[in-house]
Amino acid sequence: MLQPTSAPAPTGQLPPGVHRASDYESLARGVIPAPTFEYIAGGSGEGVTLAANRAAFGDLSICPRLLADVTGGSTRLALAGRDRAHPIMLAPVALQALVHPRGELDVARAAAAVDACMVVSTLSSHRLEDVAAATAEEKWFQLYFQPRRDDTLDLARRASDAGYAALVVTVDAAIQASASSALRAGFRMPADCVAINLQGYAARSESRLAQGQSRIFQGMMRSAPTWADLEWLQARAGLPIWIKGVLHGDDARRLRALGVAGLVVSNHGGRSLDHAPASLRMLPVIRDAVGPDCPLMFDGGIRSGADVFKAIALGADAVMIGRLQVYALAVAGALGVAHMLRLLHEELEACMAMAGCASLADIGRRGCVLRSSREPGLC
Amino acid sequence: MLQPTSAPAPTGQLPPGVHRASDYESLARGVIPAPTFEYIAGGSGEGVTLAANRAAFGDLSICPRLLADVTGGSTRLALAGRDRAHPIMLAPVALQALVHPRGELDVARAAAAVDACMVVSTLSSHRLEDVAAATAEEKWFQLYFQPRRDDTLDLARRASDAGYAALVVTVDAAIQASASSALRAGFRMPADCVAINLQGYAARSESRLAQGQSRIFQGMMRSAPTWADLEWLQARAGLPIWIKGVLHGDDARRLRALGVAGLVVSNHGGRSLDHAPASLRMLPVIRDAVGPDCPLMFDGGIRSGADVFKAIALGADAVMIGRLQVYALAVAGALGVAHMLRLLHEELEACMAMAGCASLADIGRRGCVLRSSREPGLC
Amino acid sequence: MLQPTSAPAPTGQLPPGVHRASDYESLARGVIPAPTFEYIAGGSGEGVTLAANRAAFGDLSICPRLLADVTGGSTRLALAGRDRAHPIMLAPVALQALVHPRGELDVARAAAAVDACMVVSTLSSHRLEDVAAATAEEKWFQLYFQPRRDDTLDLARRASDAGYAALVVTVDAAIQASASSALRAGFRMPADCVAINLQGYAARSESRLAQGQSRIFQGMMRSAPTWADLEWLQARAGLPIWIKGVLHGDDARRLRALGVAGLVVSNHGGRSLDHAPASLRMLPVIRDAVGPDCPLMFDGGIRSGADVFKAIALGADAVMIGRLQVYALAVAGALGVAHMLRLLHEELEACMAMAGCASLADIGRRGCVLRSSREPGLC
Amino acid sequence: MLQPTSAPAPTGQLPPGVHRASDYESLARGVIPAPTFEYIAGGSGEGVTLAANRAAFGDLSICPRLLADVTGGSTRLALAGRDRAHPIMLAPVALQALVHPRGELDVARAAAAVDACMVVSTLSSHRLEDVAAATAEEKWFQLYFQPRRDDTLDLARRASDAGYAALVVTVDAAIQASASSALRAGFRMPADCVAINLQGYAARSESRLAQGQSRIFQGMMRSAPTWADLEWLQARAGLPIWIKGVLHGDDARRLRALGVAGLVVSNHGGRSLDHAPASLRMLPVIRDAVGPDCPLMFDGGIRSGADVFKAIALGADAVMIGRLQVYALAVAGALGVAHMLRLLHEELEACMAMAGCASLADIGRRGCVLRSSREPGLC
């Protein structure tokens, strides 16, 4: 059985000193061993994209709107055929046993408690069937293409059988680069942290490369999914397919044309291609590309309800929470995750109320997100 | 009776080392206990708006104008039906007994000494009637809508009876978020620091929320004022009404159309919605929205006469001073506040003289405020 | 007799470790007592303009030009009716005995040694007649208007009699604000540092102000020069008049129309109106305003030959050196000043050579100064 | 014989802790004596251009492209009449014995091992003939014009005789300014580090200057190459000529018109004219000037494959690696240099794969490099 890498917080009581969702980040730093924290918090390469994700939010302001009657307000939305209480979802995060032995099982309980849709990772620490069974609430399954098509399809079918309502296909992670900070801190994945869902599937073969062939192009990229793979999967998956990792308008248009269920604007939390642009910088580009009706989620750097508000103002229908999920799990298990989500939800409501928005749709209509630094009216 | 949280400075002598109004800020840091100082100096949330308020001034330069004869100059202006010596007012600040036992009474004496109009807070430490009686000079009363309309009207009538000349209705504070820095520093409001004017009024009821209702929308916002409340008050207040907290052009236009006496561009000193834009960034937007004739005040980050000059150049008729007021009060009581205001006034005069402006109206006409960073003439 | 505030460096030998003109700044920090250094190095108020002066240079790049034959090159120019070896002048600096007992006498000797025109301050430590007699080279006299017109005229006539070739009338210093850093460092002007040229003239009277009158407008500004004063002086001075302190295009045009000999774009080294724009930012504005033929000097933040190059590219005919002059004087007397000027001159020549400019006129023509940060060609 | 200034790393084994090419920089800091490191790492003057070179990369993002099939991808290109495995060349670096006794001989072996074209410096520590003979692979020779034309031609002919395939004529180094940081750190070139190729040639004569002549214009610039010198060399060199140091569009056009083989956009790694613009900032300007077909190389600040990708996106056909070459040589000799180049190559491939680029030509076509900071869609 998986062992925690540090003593988990006792469940059943909230940690003191948490006033805002982001407080879980600083608390987590005291709970998670430093190399592991670096692994979770870090980005690929020099961490340029990681930092850009956060900085992009700082460039936007939210202009209050006065005297609106928002007593009938709510954060409800219709998305993917369901009415939902709020637009905050749990991003797929691999191997959550790294910070808590119950990992994804606890996250599922937390999600159920606060009506948040959880996206379970292909690389979860617990079997996808067990996570699905943990609660009766809607869950989605994040799917990585496997080296063998049969295995990919098997994963998709297991997800469908276990009751997952949608697939989120991640397509921006063909090449994984470790965070320099984690390498420097000496992080190594514990031996018992394994991708249990993939047991029995073919591993990516160390390709035999001919003279002059590239370890990247003719090696790693051989198992990377292509447009053909996606169309093949679409025809067989039996579940709606969302595509995660979209940053370029041309890709968004082509995916839209294929009829996918929706897109997730994301740069993998700054963990894939370092120097990729901030997710938030590309969000309005993608919204422009796909038009107002395409379901669009946003992922990348959210730490507060104000950040959720800004993402929605720039065109997202909903958002995904990655690192805060792990921090809250590490600090206080299921209770922590549920608490963090409730704080985030209330922070969003407070922003909406102060900006005179009684609904998520109002956010785009009220013209209250603007560049912080643009000074009008002087030469 | 209220006790000071630290020994007040002896009145009757000015503190050494004060050359500019802003010097009171550093002196105050040595006089006010650290948690209290954090509470006063801090902003809501992460302090983003607080910092933006100050940074916006740094982006503007004042271009000197040469050889003008300004020996007939003055800072006089007509505002709200009176001729005034200068455009510097005292912003409403709650619970001033936190830094000085005589609090608002001393501020009133200081204001009278230097011809500055004081705006007394609904949340003053001393009874509004007592502050009104402290001096014979004009004062205004800042009004927060109360949960019960009767109480709101009672406050307005007490203000009118006590001789206040106008109401400043603050509409941007329905949701109060504490400053993280103050929370971290362990600040707690002393038990004897209470909003004495509200004794006997109904408190905001902890609303019983039904399942699925929001603590924000169906809770706190139930007692937030709406357009209907404002119109109701306008019909009954018997005093001119200014609206404080305006940042969006559409709100400014609508308020103007309602016939309010004037507007105060403000983000509550960065203490309300964190991530709100800098007040100064929105000032020209609001001036554009309401046209040249609407009385407009500015509040948010002023620390020097140069800042006053810039605010007037961007469209303000007058400005309000918040934190410097508290700092000077803490350091040297009434004398400190009067001294700070006199320094601010002279700093403004010096700026005007060096910019060749013999009157406040000249400030807008002389074209001497410009962006610091715009480099003309190169590709 | 004036005593140095610290032992002057022995003359006759150059200090080690000086590779560039700007090295005199760091050396001076070790030679000049700290409060005095703060007084010299600091700016008025918060030092915003002081910092802006330097930062403006950093925003510009110099693009090398290749393979030009510049073996016939020189920095010669015609200015104010004379052919000059280079465009580097010595700015007027008050009370140089503060750092060296021979003060202006040594600076005059240095200027003569390297063909630099020196502008002697009204507030020089040595009598203007003595400085004039120190060398036979051309010198100019910086003139401050005196409270009494007769005294102003007397100064101008003494300058003319002593052989000064032009007057540089400083018009941006009606109100002097001390640098906060100097005040904090405890600087006080030594009792024997006095404006010897003004002995016998009327001091600015502490004006008796009526009730409600302003210490600025009806006080200090009473002795500030006006357009009328300037025209009065022009008719009587008997010497060409340059105006120092010009930053606004409208003022530049009006001065040009009056027929002054030339203008000096300057913000008094950041020592007058804090928050004034960087001199360099306004230089192209002034050049645009007065057209290509008006003699124009630049003053404000020059520390290297590259800075001289940039100022000339933006429209200056020549430049004035203030603080570096004092630093070099403090470190090594006349020899230091001459050495600093020679280094500056060679740094300018090296820039010109690498930018393919064989003459100062080439600098404007070769299109080699551009914004550092403007990235062309991407969305 | 040359002695290493510190014990070289044992060859035959890679240093631990190198995950990315840029890791050699931090390792080198521990191996190279501090003054020497400052000399290598530093730039001229204040290091402004040096810093700008790096900062320019930070302003660009690489937008991932999804689901492309790049399994047939490669970094191959045709350049200078040859098919090459990748676009990464070794920049000419003087006196490599400063960090390793085998210096250029080891670099040549490394270049051969990874199919990188090496450009050998005129100022190499080992004789150009010996470096040429070290391996059979293609090499180019960097040529500095010598004071005597005969010597210049002799160098060119020796290079041709030794089998070098092209000349890279550096034209931006007529005036050498030392890095202040190296001077301050006390760096002095060791006596046995000499430009062995120049033995027997005439040194630059200390010109006798007449009164009033300039040490720069009539001194140093007398031996600087001109357009006439270049045309003279072109007619006689017998090898294709590349010009290194181009930053201005007009120069690029004129060189193109002369029919040179290609250009190298470079500011000499920030070691020539300080305040020159970042190489990357001028790259698209030069590409615009010369059109799509002119062979163009880029040099200046590359530390990663992402940097190579960005340079190619902005118009470079290939890039040159300077400082990383020296760092890797110092750390681990030939093996280090080969390893560094292989890492750089793979980093480039990974970027290409994640950006959906199967060839270098795709990089320009896929529209995936964009400004980091431009936020679209808000006012």
Mean pLDDT (whole number) for D253-268 = 98
Chains within contact range of chain A (3+ C-beta pairs < 8 Å): B, D
Residues 6+ apart with CB under 8 A from B29: B37
- CATH code (residue A139): 3.20.20.70
| Helix or strand holding residue B299 (H, E) | strand B296-299
What residues in chain A have their Cβ under 8 A from chain B's Cβ atoms? 19-20, 58, 60-75, 85, 304, 306, 310, 346, 349-355, 358, 367-368, 370, 372, 374-379
Residue B319 domain-assigned (yes or no): yes
Q: Going along B91-217, which residue ranges are E strands?
A: 118-120, 139-143, 167-170
Is D242 in a helix, a strand, or coil?
A: strand
The pLDDT of residue D219: 94
| Residues in D touching C64 (Cβ below 8 Å) | 172, 245, 247-248, 267, 272-273, 276
Can you tell me the distance from the alpha carbon of D208 to that of D201, in angstroms, rounded to the nearest whole number? 20
Query: Over the stretch B109-139, which tens digit does the pLDDT of each residue have?
Result: 999 999 999 999 999 999 999 999 999 999 9
Give the DSSP per-residue string, A177-229.
Answer: --BHHHHHHT----TT---GGGTTSPPPP-PPPPTT--IIIIIGGGGS--HHH
Nearest to C6 by CA among C331, C250, C289, C361: C331
Q: How many CB atoms lie within 10 A of CB D116?
A: 26
**Burial (0-12, 13-18, 19+ Cβ within 10 Å), A214:** buried
Query: Over the stretch A79-128, which tens digit does the pLDDT of each residue have?
Result: 999 999 999 999 999 999 999 999 999 999 999 999 999 999 999 999 99
Residue keyed to tokens 């450009």: D119
Percentage of chain B with pLDDT > 90? 85
Residue D203 domain-assigned (yes or no): no
Chain mean pLDDT for chain A:
93
The pLDDT of residue B179: 67
Under the banding of pLDDT at 50, 70 and 90, the label for residue B207 is low
Can you tell me the distance from the alpha carbon of C46 to that of C48, in angstroms, rounded to the nearest whole number? 6
Q: Cβ(D242)–Cβ(D262) under 8 Å?
A: yes
Residue B54 domain-assigned (yes or no): yes
Q: Which amino acid is at D106?
A: D
Residue D14 pLDDT > 90? no
The vertex-B323 CA angle with B318 and B326, nearest 5°, equals 115
Give the DSSP per-residue string, C72-111.
Answer: T----EEETTEEES-SEEEPP-S-GGGT-TTHHHHHHHHH
Can you tell me the distance from the alpha carbon of A310 to that of A353, in angstroms, rounded to the nearest whole number? 14
Q: Which amino acid is at C5?
A: T
The pLDDT of residue B153: 98
Out of D268, D275, D339, D345, which one is annotated catalytic? D268
Under the banding of pLDDT at 50, 70 and 90, the label for residue A205 is confident
The pLDDT of residue C7: 39
Structure tokens at A292: 């107002």
The pLDDT of residue B14: 86
Can you tell me the distance from the alpha carbon of C38 to that of A66, in angstroms, rounded to the nearest whole number? 49
- Contact A66/B172, CB-based, under 8 Å? yes
Residue A187 pLDDT > 70? yes
Q: Which amino acid is at B137?
A: E
| Residues in D touching A371 (Cβ below 8 Å) | 375, 378-379
Mean pLDDT (whole number) for D248-258 = 98
Can you tell me the distance from the alpha carbon of C327 to that of C330, in angstroms, rounded to the nearest whole number? 5
Residue B4 pLDDT > 50? no
Residues 6+ apart with CB under 8 A from C322: C91, C93, C269, C299
Residue B263 pLDDT > 80? yes
Residue D187 domain-assigned (yes or no): yes
Can you tell me the distance from the alpha carbon of C141 to that of C121, in angstroms, rounded to the nearest whole number? 6
pTM listed for this prediction: 0.95
Can you tell me the distance from the alpha carbon of A323 to that of D6, in angstroms, rounded to the nearest whole number? 45
Mean pLDDT (whole number) for D282-308 = 97
Structure tokens at B60: 């503007």
Q: Which of C354, C359, C363 to mutate to test the interface with D (most CBs of D within 10 A)?
A: C354
Catalytic site positions of C: 268
Residue D9 pLDDT > 50? no
Q: Which residue of A has its CA nearest to B283?
A: A376
The pLDDT of residue C10: 44
Sign of CA dihedral C64, C70, C74, C78: negative
Q: Cβ(D67)–Cβ(A263) under 8 Å?
A: no
Residue B354 pLDDT > 60? yes
Residue D17 domain-assigned (yes or no): no
Residue A79 bridge partners (DSSP)? A82
Please tell me what DSSP assigns to residue B306: H
Out of B268, B275, B339, B345, which one is annotated catalytic? B268
Can you tell me the distance from the alpha carbon of B317 to that of B39, in angstroms, rounded to the nearest whole number? 30
List alpha helices for chain B, DSSP H.
23-31, 34-41, 48-58, 103-113, 128-134, 149-161, 180-185, 227-236, 249-258, 279-290, 305-313, 323-354, 360-365
Residues 6+ apart with CB under 8 A from B200: none
Longest Cα pair distance anywhere in chain B, in angstroms? 72
| Residues in B touching C250 (Cβ below 8 Å) | 65, 367
Can you tell me the distance from the alpha carbon of A322 to that of A40, in angstroms, rounded to the nearest whole number? 10
| Residues in C touching B349 (Cβ below 8 Å) | 214-217
Residue keyed to tokens 């996206």: A119
Residue D6 domain-assigned (yes or no): no
Q: Which of A157-166, C7-16, C240-249, D255-264 has the lowest mean pLDDT?
A: C7-16
The pLDDT of residue C39: 94
Can you tell me the distance from the alpha carbon of C218 to that of C206, in angstroms, rounded to the nearest whole number? 11
Q: Cβ(A77)–Cβ(A368) under 8 Å?
A: no
CA distance A177 to chain D (A): 9
**B368 φ, ψ (degrees, to nearest 5):** -115, 5
Nearest to C125 by CA among C163, C98, C92, C88: C98
For C161, half-sphere exposure in the C-beta direction (CA atoms, 13 angstrom radius) is 9
Query: Between the CA of residue D37 and those of D181, D266, D270, D327, what are the distances in Å?
Result: 10, 21, 15, 9
The pLDDT of residue C204: 79
Q: Which residue of C has its CA nearest to D173?
A: C354
Query: Between the CA of residue D198 and those of B14, C134, C377, D108, D143, what are the distances in Å?
Result: 76, 51, 42, 20, 11
Nearest to A149 by CA among A225, A50, A62, A35: A225
Under the banding of pLDDT at 50, 70 and 90, the label for residue B187 is very high
Chain-centre distance for alpha carbon D263: 12
- Helical axes A34-41 vs A323-354, angle rounded to 10°: 50
Query: Over the stretch D225-238, which tens digit does the pLDDT of each residue have?
Result: 999 999 999 999 99
Query: Over the stretch A240-287, which tens digit does the pLDDT of each residue have?
Result: 999 999 999 999 999 999 999 999 999 999 999 999 999 999 999 999
The pLDDT of residue A43: 94
Contacts 24+ apart (CB under 8 A), B153-160: B153/B233, B153/B236, B153/B237, B154/B201, B155/B122, B155/B197, B155/B201, B156/B233, B156/B236, B156/B237, B156/B238, B156/B239, B157/B238, B158/B128, B158/B129, B158/B197, B159/B128, B159/B239, B160/B237, B160/B238, B160/B239
Under the banding of pLDDT at 50, 70 and 90, the label for residue B8 is very low
ipTM score assigned to the predicted complex = 0.94
Residue C170 bridge partners (DSSP)? C244
Q: Which of A205-214, B239-248, C278-287 has the lowest mean pLDDT?
A: A205-214
Can you tell me the distance from the alpha carbon of C160 to that of B2, in angstroms, rounded to the nearest whole number? 71
**Burial (0-12, 13-18, 19+ Cβ within 10 Å), B34:** exposed
Percentage of chain D with pLDDT > 90? 85
The pLDDT of residue D255: 98
Nearest-CB residue to B180 (from A19, A306, A375):
A19
Can you tell me the distance from the alpha carbon of C360 to that of B238, in angstroms, rounded to the nearest whole number? 72
CA distance D347 to chain A (A): 9
Kindly give the confidence (pLDDT) of every residue in chain C, 379 residues in length, as a single tens digit, with 9 standing for 90 and above.
Answer: 233 334 344 456 788 889 999 999 999 999 999 999 999 999 999 999 999 999 999 999 999 999 999 999 999 999 999 999 999 999 999 999 999 999 999 999 999 999 999 999 999 999 999 999 999 999 999 999 999 999 999 999 999 999 999 999 999 988 876 667 788 888 999 998 999 999 999 987 766 899 889 999 999 999 999 999 999 999 999 999 999 999 999 999 999 999 999 999 999 999 999 999 999 999 999 999 999 999 999 999 999 999 999 999 999 999 999 999 999 999 999 999 999 999 999 999 999 999 999 999 999 988 899 988 765 555 4
**D76 φ, ψ (degrees, to nearest 5):** -65, 150
Q: Cβ(A371)–Cβ(A112) under 8 Å?
A: no
| Residues in B touching A351 (Cβ below 8 Å) | 273, 275
Chain mean pLDDT for chain B:
93
Residue C11 domain-assigned (yes or no): no
| Residues in C touching D174 (Cβ below 8 Å) | 353-354
Residue C4 domain-assigned (yes or no): no
How many domains, chain B?
1
Phi-psi group of A42: left, alpha or beta (phi > 0 → left; psi -120 to 50 → alpha; rest → beta): beta
- Contact B180/A377, CB-based, under 8 Å? no
Chain-centre distance for alpha carbon B75: 20
Can you tell me the distance from the alpha carbon of C73 to that of C51, in angstroms, rounded to the nearest whole number? 34
Q: Which residue of D has its CA nearest to A369?
A: D378
The pLDDT of residue D13: 79
CA distance A85 to chain D (A): 28
Q: Which amino acid is at A223?
A: S
Residue A379 pLDDT > 50? no
Query: Over the stretch D299-356, which tens digit does the pLDDT of each residue have?
Result: 999 999 999 999 999 999 999 999 999 999 999 999 999 999 999 999 999 999 999 9
Sign of CA dihedral A335, A338, A339, A340: positive
| Structural domain of A360 | 23-197+223-370
Residue B86 annotated in active site = no
Can you tell me the distance from the alpha carbon of B254 to that of B226, in angstroms, rounded to the nearest whole number? 13
